[in-house]
Structure 1
Amino acid sequence: MLHLPPALRHRKFALLWASLLISYAGSNMQLWTLYWHLRDLSDQPVVVSGIGLARFIPMLAFALFGGLVADLFNRRHIMFVSQLTMMAIATALGALTHSGMIQIWHIFALTAVQAVAAAFDIPARQSIIPNLVSKEDLPNAFSMSSIAINVGAIIGPGLSGLVISRMGLDAVYWINAVSYIAVLVAVLVMGKVQQETAAAPGSRRKAFSLESIREGIQFILHQPMILSTMLLDFFATFFSTADTLLPFVARDILRVDEIRYGWLAAAPSLGAMSVGLVVSQLRGIQNQGRLLLSAVTIYGAATILFGISQQFLLAMVALFLIGAGDSLSAIIRNTIRQIHTPDRLRGRAISVNQIFFLGGPQLGDIEAGLLAQAFGTPIAIITGGIGCILAVIGIAQRWPQLRSYNGDEPRPATSPEAA
């Protein structure tokens, strides 16, 4: 019998979760539209995959500062400013596209600015979650967050294909701009959120230093469970991610239109949401280490299956399995990181993680584009899946304690209960 997930009994989390359902749908509409848009402007895989570099460089430059800001200042205020910035970027994309003036460099430049905003938004948004729910409901909160992400990632791509075919590319960008209003309203309505900051208000200027950033890095390096899962995520996504190649698979191999392209883009999120729904009904997860390694292995194997797919339905199944494996991995990784990180360091820990979990896919897009340019799209995808599986084997051997991790071991850090 289905029941209300425990995390949604916390009003402030429920507000944020509902708003993100809407915003994630808009963001995913824009994401997959950008890939299609770039494919319209260029038929070179390496050019389209270059969008990953436009994201990675700003993220690398600002991620650690974004995490420190999330530890020193009000996370709600940071979210409001960053979401407002991304709303402005979507509006600019819509205006340039509607005018017919848009060029590849416009998309790259605006994507880079959005990556800067995300470098501050992601640590604030993720680190505020333990401030909104109790420690016992934290795994459930991350499961529900995964569902919100994946519902948006199902609705968004599906709508993007439909909107592109019926209303044009510019309409997608306008719709995404409007979707940010939901988060802005939720952040205002939820009110004050209890937060343990890394410094008192009067000493924040002193705390805003490279030494404070170094403290966050040193914390990660001395937490083997967190470090091993971050590295696992980085290498798995570096090898297996090939999102920017999906328009080439859709057009040149499967030979489908914009609408079926939207379905392909939504398939991983269907798999991810299925896993999220199952986990949301569980009070706890046992054998977390083995489950994590198994999930990433499935992710790599499904990537190989996608690479050899020549039929639309087989490609859909492969992408569904990719999303399922990735979702289970993400839920377990997020829970491990948040439980083992004190609140005063949480923003910085998330910012370090951001380099891994965003850097892997974005650098992976570039790697996949270069391989596709040289050897063809299928080879780029298949070799990525093989690399992912090899990464699982390497991480499991380097950190054997990950294989035996259950999830109920003594915790070096706890999260404060939400007010």
Structure 2
Amino acid sequence: MTTAAAPTRFAALRDRHSRPYLFAAGLAMMGDNIEHVITYWVLWQKFHSTALTGFEIISHWLPFLLLSVTFGGLAQRYDCRRLIQIAQVLFMCVSVVWGILFATDTLQVWMACVLLVLHGCAGSLWAPAEQLLLHDFAEPADLPGAIRLNATFRSLGILFGPAVGSVLLLGLGPHFGIWANVVFYLPMTILLFRTPFTGHTRDGVAMGAGAKPVGGPGAAIFGSVRTIREVRLAPAVVSMLVLSGLMALFVGGAIQVSMPEFAVALGAGSAGLAYGVLLFANGIGAVLGGFLLEAIGVLKPNVLTAVLGTIFFGGFILLFATTGSYWLAVVALVVAGVANMASMSFSQSIVQLMAPPGERGRIVGLFSTVSSGFRTGSGIILAVLGAIAGLRGALAWSALILFVGAIVIGLWTWWDVRRDRRAPALP
């Protein structure tokens, strides 16, 4: 893939519109994770329900699976700033209601389930609109950097959110802590009143032009299939969708939930500083990877770099899952975090750059479906493989499947491109 102009390093941080957005996105993502820390702790202390714990994971990712294409259609038809603001307000409302239920001690399981689902819906509404807004902020040559830096700042929020959430929980208590969390969503909400871009400005395509109407439940459930059938996707885009789906389905959130077992197996114990270093290593790898890739600026967004990033990610997660050395496991997690950032940002860039302007919203929504929504199934795969091979073996097999799958996708795309080049031109 070529672009008309060479990319500017850290262009998104130099631009007066995208720079504050990146910081606001990091704060909002921190608020998302602070809410997880406080609410998950309260729910376990109050109900001690493993079923509710499982539902916490499902409710976070299932809206991405069912609603991302629909929300992508909304992002294509309407002002992305307002959709993001609606998502932020929904986050804030959920935090306020959590605080009221904590303070009055009236929380019931069904109430918790409703709030967890609403929180997941806010995240899935935010994702496609955010990507279209990034596409508006950046020139085509600078879009991969904008996507990478946005993911980096979101990773910073994910990295430090649990620490800040713990401080709020211990210092202010559950209800005041969750109310204080509202502050982290305000910068994004206020900023978008001052941002001139709508998510549709740069392409010169009017909002809604060429977009299919957004339907009801049928669109939510079958929207992904309909998008694949209606839109002729380039082989590179199909490859990135499959690649991202494999990462979400086979590794997904399996690393974090498996960490206590690995900490014990590596002799670190399930608590303490050594365990915390394991949790921190993969996250700091993603942050370092984002800044490092942007600073070097050598790797370009194409199928090869995305596939190589995924191969390295799968390979180093496989090393982490099989090594008996604690410090080698830490290094493997850091490198895997760098590779994950490369794979994710390059895949997202290819999808956005090659999507037709009139269908970009739905295609970005489809990418969100596979890259985030498929994480819903990663827990099921981990449980099935774990019953057969144990938790460490399950992660090792998952990483191996991802490693081999990435190689197959790379070879398939190379062969498809080679075949197209050999095909005779039409008269």
Contact 1:396 1:403 in 2 (8 A): no
Give the corresponding residue for 2:208. Answer: 199
The AA in structure 2 aligned to 1:83 is Q
SS in 2 for 1:400: helix
- Of stretches 216-225 and 174-183 in structure 1, the one that deviates more from structure 2 is 216-225
Output one character per residue of 1:277-323: Cα deviation in whole Å (capped at 9) or x when no partner. 12222456348333222211222222233334667645433332231
Distance, in Å, in 1 between the alignment partners of 2:371 and 2:41 is 23
The alignment-based identity, stated in percent, is 19
2:178 alignment partner, one of 166, 169, 173: 173
The AA in structure 2 aligned to 1:20 is A
- Alpha-carbon RMSD: 3.5
1:83 alignment partner, one of 88, 95, 98: 88
Give the corresponding residue for 2:120. Answer: 115
Question: 2:246 matched to 1:235?
Answer: yes
Q: 1:244 to 1:113 in 2, by over 3 A?
A: farther
Give the corresponding residue for 2:151. Answer: 146
Distance, in Å, in 2 between the alignment partners of 1:47 and 1:387 is 30
SS in 2 for 1:230: helix
1:57 to partner: Cα distance: 3.5
1:126 to partner: Cα distance: 0.9
Q: Tell me: higher relative CO, structure 1 or 2? Use CA pairs within 8 A at least 6 residues apart.
A: 1
Contact 1:63 1:351 in 2 (8 A): yes
- Of stretches 20-29 and 321-330 in structure 1, the one that deviates more from structure 2 is 20-29
SS in 2 for 1:30: helix
Contact 2:101 2:107 in 1 (8 A): yes
The AA in structure 2 aligned to 1:22 is L
SS in 2 for 1:281: helix
Output one character per residue of 1:25-51: Cα deviation in whole Å (capped at 9) or x when no partner. 22233345666666666585x764443
Contact 1:307 1:382 in 2 (8 A): yes
Distance, in Å, in 2 between the alignment partners of 1:123 and 1:229 is 16
1:137 alignment partner, one of 138, 142, 147: 142
Q: How many residues align?
A: 398
2:192 alignment partner, one of 187, 190, 193: 187
Contact 2:263 2:278 in 1 (8 A): no
1:99 to partner: Cα distance: 5.0
Give the corresponding residue for 2:261. Answer: 249
Distance, in Å, in 1 between the alignment partners of 2:332 and 2:48 is 27
Give the corresponding residue for 1:337. Answer: 351
2:412 alignment partner, one of 377, 383, 398: 398
Distance, in Å, in 1 between the alignment partners of 2:339 and 2:123 is 25
Contact 2:26 2:157 in 1 (8 A): yes
SS in 1 for 2:355: coil
Give the corresponding residue for 1:387. Answer: 401
Contact 1:84 1:184 in 2 (8 A): yes
Give the corresponding residue for 2:234. Answer: 223
Q: Which runs of 5+ in 2 are unaligned?
A: 1-7, 419-427
